[in-house]
Amino acid sequence: MLKFSSFRKIGARPAKVITGLAVISALLTCLRVQAQATGNGQAGSAADRGRILLVLPFDNETGQPGLEWIREAAPSLLSSRLASAGFAPMSRADRLYALDHLGLPEGFEPSRATALKLAQTLDADSIIVGSYKTEGKDIVAEAQVVDVPHLRMSQPITSRGAMNSLIAVFDSLAWEVTRQLDPNFTGSEETFVAAGKNMRLDAFEQYIRGITEPDQAERLRHLKKAVELSPDLSRAWMALGREDYNDQQYEEAAAAFAKVARNSADSLEAGFYRGLSLLFSGSYPKAEEAFAGVAQVLPLAEVLNNQGVALSRQGKDGSALFRKAVSADPSAPDYHFNLALSLKRKGDAAEALQEMGECLKLRAHDSEAQGLLAVWKASRPTDANTQSDPLERIVRTFDASAFRQAAVMMDQMETERLAALSAPERAKQLAGQAKDYLNRGLLLEAERMYQLAVAADGSVAAAHVGLAEVRERTGDAAGARKEAQAALALGPSVEAHLVLCRLDLAGNRLEDAGREADEALKLDPENMVARELKQQIDRKASKTQ
């Protein structure tokens, strides 16, 4: 496991010097395990071709310094879409850390030959390089995929469009890159483009400038502008929270981390650092709640420990949480230290001595633990609650690799559980997971899970209905109609009739729309969506008479 837990500042570098290749090797090993877990059971998926990706900043061929921010916008957009498509792209933080330990600057611009050599060195399955230029009012983005095992580079893949449609241009490029990486990929271009259609370009530009500016004041200015322009831009809130946290502005940091959406890739990290920010600002009940929310998803030792600290700071017993932390990671001396303190306060002096001894076995030169143990041993039983003990120790850093590996293990367990089910039951459960993604607005993830459900058993109507809803949201009316009709061919479905009703209403086919609404109401007379659609149809019909 690649551990970065020896430093406090978010995004800071560990004090211990590690060779760049060792760091990158460990990082990619972790990502490879994750990718294999993600790809298990997906016949014909990109798992067979390699899923570990590194997207490098694109070359600015516009000759315009004002468009330099697009260099980092490109890997940000492509990595986000590729992750949703089931690949495992390295994050910007991973890339910067790796380049730093290779002795390469942040603005490193490799030639095509250098990129291929770098890919071999990193043991990545693929590296994506690219460039962008302007032609009149259009932007033209070009990408090439470095196939590392075969030591070759793909033909250029190009996407173009109006500058004010830059996000859609790169989303389309991401779709083409995905198909290059996995020719069997069945996701639609419309879904890729729809995934970014609600992102304001001006806010996204401010976000990119905010994470790339060398001056902190400028970073803050851009990030605050980003969230002002787009209050739901989670990645900007996350970056702003990091800045405030690193500047020890804990109340502001907690507020920013709270704005990161639950469906964001940063949600767990945001919850962890929100908990820390609340701890440091003295809001212990809210800190306990924040850590508990993270622990519900991934109950790692550092999360359980900090939840126990937040509980203890309220004068409550955190022993149970500290025990869980020790059980999850018995090699961490601070967890034994905290459990010892908690047990001593409960009056369990014997076990407290034992746990403090375990702490010293793991960290023999811990002077605080040594002094405390000596005092405890010298105390009489009647003095058990008279000593002034120190506070429990807080884990101050988010170990992203540990969270990643824990998530991998959970994915593996889920994959094994699904594999043991019958095909119809597996399809139903996959469709249920996809529905959750769809409800959270994650169209790419929903589409992929629905397609897996159909592949498992095409006779499960819910999977076809779900795909119909995805197609409807992405503007693919023909595809939505086809999937809705496929669902109805398998049996009655309120949702399928509603999809067809909305499609007919949008196409001004009022008679057909009314018929579909009526069919939905026959199946569910109290369905509010069907009733509202029926009212819309009636109002529109009265205006045409």
In a domain, 509, yes or no: yes
Of 143, 171, 197, the one marking the end of a domain is: 197
Average pLDDT over residues 444-473: 93
Q: Contact at 8 Å (CB) between 480 and 496? A: no
Q: Is the pLDDT of residue 112 over 50?
A: yes
Whole-number percent of the chain with pLDDT over 70: 82
Examine the fold and report which residue of 197, 217, 241 is the final residue of a domain before the chain moves on.
197
With residue 483 as reference, give the H or E element that holds it. helix 477-490
Flag whether 505 is in a domain. Answer: yes
- Residue-range definition of the domain harbouring residue 529: 412-544
CATH number, domain of 55, equals 3.40.50.10610
Question: Among residues 149, 174, 197, which one ends one of the domains?
Answer: 197
φ and ψ at residue 161, rounded to 5 degrees: 175, 180
Which value, in Å, is the radius of gyration of the alpha carbons in the chain?
27
Residue 11 confidence (pLDDT) = 47
- Residues 120-135 have pLDDT tens digits of 666 678 889 999 999 9
Q: Report yes or no on 55 lying in a domain.
A: yes
224 within a domain of the structure (yes/no):
no
Smallest CA-to-CA distance from 272 within 260, 263, 497 is with 260
What is the reported pLDDT for 53? 87
* Interval 326-362: pLDDT, tens: 999 999 999 999 999 999 998 899 999 999 999 999 9
Task: Identify whether 422 is part of a domain.
Answer: yes
Query: What is the pLDDT confidence band of residue 24, given thresholds at 50, 70 and 90?
Result: very low
pLDDT of 2 over the 50 cut: no
Q: What is the pLDDT of residue 284?
A: 97
Selected residue with higher pLDDT from 486 and 33: 486
Instruction: Please tell me the distance from the alpha carbon of residue 20 to that of residue 114, in angstroms, as a whole number.
Output: 17
Per residue in 278-306, pLDDT (tens digit) is 999 999 999 999 999 999 988 889 999 99
- Across the range 187-198, mean pLDDT stands at 91
Q: Is residue 328 a part of any domain in this protein?
A: no
Q: Is the pLDDT of residue 541 over 50?
A: yes
Is 359 among the domain residues? Answer: no
- With a pLDDT cut of 90, the percent of the chain lying above it is 64
- What is the average pLDDT across 207-230? 96
Q: State mean pLDDT over 57-81.
A: 95
Q: Work out how many domains the chain is built from and give that number.
A: 2
DSSP state of 383: G
Q: For position 38, what pLDDT does the model report? A: 39
